[in-house]
Amino acid sequence: MLANKQNHEELSEPFIWPEEGISRIPYRLFFDPEIYKLEQEKIFKGPVWNFLCMEFDVAEPGDFKTTFVGETPVIVTRDRKGTVNAMVNRCAHKGALVCLKERGNAKALT
């Protein structure tokens, strides 16, 4: 959750953490759409590393696993040469998901 003053200043309505009951997380942090959007940008977009899967999840050539980076659907695959690759799990033409299965092995994803 957003916890420092710098990030709070980016909100249209300033957020002040209550002094009383400081160990309780204010309800707004869980349900405010503006905070959610800001967290998606700060945590999942930009020059940061994101965990996609373990190497054993795509151990053999043709193995694939689908996951998400924030709200973005992603496919992780291992190609014939053994290289692990990742791409957005969306068709560039219509935006439909390319792969609907959670994991498996395939010669092609289309």
Q: Give tens-digit pLDDT for 27-43.
A: 888 899 998 998 898 88
- The pLDDT score that the predictor gives to residue 8 is 57
- The pLDDT score that the predictor gives to residue 82 is 95
Distance CA 17, CA 86 (A): 39
Whether 61 shows a pLDDT value over 50: the answer reads: yes
- The whole-number average pLDDT for the span 65-88 is 96
- The pLDDT score that the predictor gives to residue 48 is 82
- The pLDDT score that the predictor gives to residue 2 is 44
Which has more pLDDT, 18 or 108?
Answer: 108
Distance CA 29, CA 33 (A): 9
Whether 1 shows a pLDDT value over 50: the answer reads: no
**Band of pLDDT at residue 88, cut at 50, 70 and 90:** very high
**Band of pLDDT at residue 5, cut at 50, 70 and 90:** very low
Per-residue three-class SS string for the chain: CCCCHHHHCCCCCCCCCCCCCCCCCCCHHHHCHHHHHHHHHHHHCCCCCCCCCCHHHHCCCCEEEEEEECCEEEEEEECCCCCEEEEECCCCCCCCCCCCCCEEECCCCC
Taking alpha carbons only, the member of 64, 57, 76 closest to residue 106 is 64
Q: Which fold has domain 55-105?
A: Rieske Iron-sulfur Protein (2.102.10)
Domain residue limits, the chain: 5-44, 55-105
Taking alpha carbons only, the member of 6, 86, 85 closest to residue 38 is 6
